[in-house]
A and B are shown apart, each in its own frame.
Chain A
Amino acid sequence: DAGVIQSPRHEVTEMGQEVTLRCKPISGHDYLFWYRQTMMRGLELLIYFNNNVPIDDSGMPEDRFSAKMPNASFSTLKIQPSEPRDSAVYFCASRGYSSGANVLTFGAGSRLTVL
């Protein structure tokens, strides 16, 4: 398995632009998570899905952020409009039944810089 695949790996954009981050979870995994990592706040859970359904989005910072999972093999995290304070590394992770309790497999991350 290729693991959790995220794209793009790096994104530089200007304030006000729309940003879309993509994630392909491990095949067969039924949970998908989006985390954000910053120096100030460390790793924060933004939202997670179970069987493509959003279960908890309480970590989404504000309405500018949205996430979708149209099918079991694809998810997006969208920021519109983007702001400099959104600059961070965004991680996608997935978990399957065979992974064991709360064992997540992370992607390599998408580093976002908003100028």
Chain B
Amino acid sequence: AQSVTQLDSHVSVSEGTPVLLRCNYSSSYSPSLFWYVQHPNKGLQLLLKYTSAATLVKGINGFEAEFKKSETSFHLTKPSAHMSDAAEYFCVVSRYGSSNTGKLIFGQGTTLQVKP
């Protein structure tokens, strides 16, 4: 069985400071891992994805995430937060190469607040 646990339901940072959103996963198979972002009243947008290639994945808007198999983690980081980064962030897992396309397992989400 696969699952993801987002360790923080709410993270608050000041503009210009680093962002760290934590995610641990559980998977019996080689996982595909994703981070999606949801701005208020909007749909979900893909930030980045890991599919067994490079363990450090760069995404849009300056975000990146590192796949650490030994720690079963896929934390999302950004060196310097911007006000526009305030949103809900979802860590997502699926089975790599799975034919069960769309069987994405979503974490409960982390709300990122950015203070001026």
Interface hits, A87-104 → B, CB 8 Å: 91, 93, 95, 100-104
Within 8 A of B (CB), among A57-115: 91, 93, 95, 100-109
Interface flag for B116 (CB, 8 Å) = no
The answer to whether B43 and A42 touch across the interface, beta carbons within 8 angstroms, is no
Q: CB < 8 Å: which of A31, A42, A91, A108 contacts B108?
A: A42
Neighbour of B49 across the interface among A33, A43, A103, CB < 8 A = A103
Per-position binary interface string of chain B over residues 82-100, scored 1 when its CB falls under 8 Å from any chain A CB and 0 otherwise: 0000000010001011101
Please measure, in the bound complex, the distance between the C-alpha atom of A70 and the C-alpha atom of B102, giving whole angstroms. Answer: 20
A45–B32 touching, CB < 8 Å: no
Contacts of A50 in B (CB 8 A): 101
A: interface residue count bin: 20 to 34
The 9 closest A-B pairs by CB, nearest first: A106-B43, A43-B106, A106-B44, A48-B102, A108-B43, A33-B102, A102-B94, A42-B108, A107-B43
Task: Give B contacts to A, CB under 8 Å.
Answer: 32, 34, 36, 41-46, 49, 51, 90, 94, 96-98, 100-104, 106-109
Jot down 19 A-B pairs with beta carbons below 8 A, ordered by A: A4-B43, A42-B106, A43-B106, A45-B103, A48-B101, A50-B101, A56-B102, A56-B103, A91-B43, A93-B102, A95-B101, A102-B49, A103-B34, A104-B44, A104-B102, A104-B104, A106-B43, A106-B44, A109-B42
